[in-house]
Structure 1
């Protein structure tokens, strides 16, 4: 354990910033540490590029970034300004046709993304509140909520694995939607919470988590959990990628697990990975 803690502390030196998460939104015991509530984004996912108001200007800007479209636009403007033997219609009409068809196609695809986002954001999620199981929409999930996920369900956000129905505190997940691997991966619950199997047990957990700010690397995570008891000093355990359950992964061969939300919405590793992808362009245009 001491070796693990030293490794964890060494990794923390590279943190640009860190966040403190209060498990179940419970304040730490008096005198333990200062309670500093922090604001985090909700669990709403937005994969669409356009809105009703910015579709036309943004789409036109993106289309005229293409060399071919911009070239024909210049030719069309020159033909309008200068008296040329060819009519401006010969270059303007094909350009207008291409721009219009492309805009309709991209608008339809973005409308489908809006529908998929709404369906995902309204999915029901089970979480623990005052020792009882409560259901709410995925978009209303907050950092610090304790979530219950059942077999074959997808994790609604990035979770620290607290416990499962298995006695050894393990669970199996598939990450095919994240990295294309269909094989089952084993994850491990926090040592001091893996024995909490009921809603009442997990609802009484008194702990805080300190971890790095969101970053897109799927296989890297550094943090620690402080588990408080009534009389003793907190038990500090290091956290790594084996304790992290990623949004988009699916629970397999495990009846249910409990986990605490640490990254939600557009701060999840899955969202950070596709958020940075730009519009595809050919090698000639680059």
Structure 2
């Protein structure tokens, strides 16, 4: 047995048809999908973390902190915080709107209806309530709710036709065929409800064109391959009906394994702007150093002549320390070399 109560890594999958109690021991994922990035509690911290990965935003936050130090700031912190908050708010609103539509789309998909064989009866169930091992009936032009082992169909020899445009972009129909031993089940609900085959197969993966497994039923082994599997996201075409057994559900389906977790995306333009901001900041630092050195030389040679007119603090009379403070002051004064609206679009 490859599973413990706390499953860390799935090495193989064992699924028994029409036996939720057996399958629940392995803690397989249910058929609910989740493509959104945030919820009400996590939106603010995660979104701020993502936004400050943009160098320009981090740059202006750094400037804001510098402007809070009276000894080096010649500009009001108000001049930086207002546009920075405005830019961050505009981006947050856009991100929140995008994620709202992801939540809405997830909710629509999770609440789609499918006919599931439960207690020897076909019942309408929401997709999110479908479990591994359930037997599902599909009708023509219906989307497939999960990754299924095809058991039987309305076509001769257990054939069915599917469209895989959502998976690979191909609109031409593909053929799948059931095992001869299961195609005999037909649409007889009583026989399908008594089907207790055990499937032992590969762990969830993102390989759309590969499947390996074995069906154990009636003391015989039947080899399974990709031609026996109908994947989530496919559409049944030119086939009145078919029955399938859920092998992978929700995040374990090959469709979701390929989509992966929603991440903070950086476009090539974002990466280019981050690089440009770093170069500009480097230029600004060099300029600040040159001006700070000039200030130290001036303070050391002629600065004493103006101490009556300049209200220097005791520490600022030191030319090196004066140059240090001047460096940060010029960083603040020249901050406009990086426009704060750089990422607003």
Q: What TM-score do the two structures reach when normalised by structure 1? A: 0.85
Moved more, 275-284 or 135-144: 275-284
What's the CA shift for 1:90?
3.2
Could you list the runs of 4 or more consecutive aligned residues of structure 1 that deviate by over 4 angstroms after TM superposition? Answer: none
Contact 1:151 1:255 in 2 (8 A): yes
Counterparts in 2 of 1:101-120, with a 5 A limit?
Answer: 101-120=90-109
1:190 paired with 2:170, answer no
Return the alpha-carbon distance in structure 2 between the equivalents of residues 96 and 183 of structure 1.
Answer: 50
Residue number in structure 1 paired with 2:323:
none
Return the alpha-carbon distance in structure 2 between the equivalents of residues 68 and 160 of structure 1.
Answer: 51
Aligned to 1:192, the other structure's residue is in SS state helix
1:45 paired with 2:39, answer no
1:129 paired with 2:118, answer yes
Aligned to 1:52, the other structure's residue is in SS state coil
What's the CA shift for 1:95?
1.6
1:207 paired with 2:197, answer yes
What's the CA shift for 1:146?
0.4
Residue number in structure 2 paired with 1:20:
14
Residue number in structure 2 paired with 1:143:
132
1:219 paired with 2:219, answer no
Residue number in structure 1 paired with 2:222:
237
Contact 2:158 2:178 in 1 (8 A): yes
**How far does the alpha carbon of each residue in 1:109-143 deviate from its partner, in whole angstroms, 9 at most, with x for none?**
11111111112111111011243211111111110
Residue number in structure 2 paired with 1:100:
89
Aligned to 1:70, the other structure's residue is in SS state helix
Instruction: Label 1:108 to 1:27 Cα distance change in 2 as closer, same or farther (>3 A).
Output: closer
Contact 1:167 1:195 in 2 (8 A): no
- CA RMSD of the aligned region, Å? 2.1
Gaps of 5+ in 2: 1-8, 276-345
Return the alpha-carbon distance in structure 2 between the equivalents of residues 264 and 27 of structure 1.
Answer: 16
Structure number with higher strand proportion = 1
Counterparts in 2 of 1:249-268, with a 5 A limit?
Answer: 249-268=234-253
Return the alpha-carbon distance in structure 1 between the equivalents of residues 56 and 212 of structure 2.
Answer: 47
Return the alpha-carbon distance in structure 1 between the equivalents of residues 104 and 159 of structure 2.
Answer: 35
Return the alpha-carbon distance in structure 2 between the equivalents of residues 121 and 36 of structure 1.
Answer: 20
Structure number with higher helix proportion = 2
What's the CA shift for 1:78?
1.3
Instruction: Label 1:219 to 1:276 Cα distance change in 2 as closer, same or farther (>3 A).
Output: farther
**How far does the alpha carbon of each residue in 1:39-75 deviate from its partner, in whole angstroms, 9 at most, with x for none?**
2121111111101111111110111111121112112
Aligned to 1:39, the other structure's residue is in SS state coil
What's the CA shift for 1:193?
0.4
Return the alpha-carbon distance in structure 2 between the equivalents of residues 219 and 67 of structure 1.
Answer: 41
Aligned to 2:124, the other structure's residue is in SS state strand
**How far does the alpha carbon of each residue in 1:9-48 deviate from its partner, in whole angstroms, 9 at most, with x for none?**
xxxxxx97112110111899xxxxxx99422121111111
Return the alpha-carbon distance in structure 2 between the equivalents of residues 273 and 180 of structure 1.
Answer: 14
Residue number in structure 2 paired with 1:280:
265
The structure having more radius of gyration, on CA atoms, is 2
Aligned to 1:237, the other structure's residue is in SS state strand
Residue number in structure 1 paired with 2:143:
154
Instruction: Label 1:165 to 1:60 Cα distance change in 2 as closer, same or farther (>3 A).
Output: same
Return the alpha-carbon distance in structure 1 between the equivalents of residues 64 and 260 of structure 2.
Answer: 35
Greater length-normalized contact order (CA 8 Å, ≥ 6 residues apart)? 1
